[in-house]
């Protein structure tokens, strides 16, 4: 399994723009590859974790 974690310690409450597929699009693409997207927010810290199967 390959895993990538990204944390943003300056997250605000702004909404995505009207043209963005954002996290839903990323989650869909990861799921199609057998992976998963997890997100969480604690105060101003937004964390994204993407996992996808990796060949050995």
Give tens-digit pLDDT for 30-40. 999 999 999 99
**Is 27 a residue whose pLDDT tops 90?**
yes
pLDDT of 43: 87
CB 46 within 8 A of CB 38: no
d(CA 22, CA 18): 10
pLDDT of 53: 96
pLDDT of 21: 75
Sheet holding 45-52, edge to edge: 2-8, 45-52, 36-42
Q: In sequence order, what are the beta bridge partners of 6?
A: 48
- Give the count of beta carbons closer than 10 Å to the beta carbon of residue 19: 6
What's the rounded mean pLDDT across residues 10-37?
Answer: 86
d(CA 20, CA 56): 34
pTM for this structure?
0.77
Percent of the chain surpassing pLDDT 70: 95
């Amino acid at each position: 399994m390959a895993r990538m974690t990204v944390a943003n310690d300056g997250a605000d409450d702004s909404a995505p723009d009207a043209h963005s597929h954002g996290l839903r699009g990323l989650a869909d693409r990861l799921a199609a590859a057998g992976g998963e997207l997890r997100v969480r927010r604690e105060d101003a810290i937004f964390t994204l974790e993407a996992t996808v199967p990796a060949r050995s």
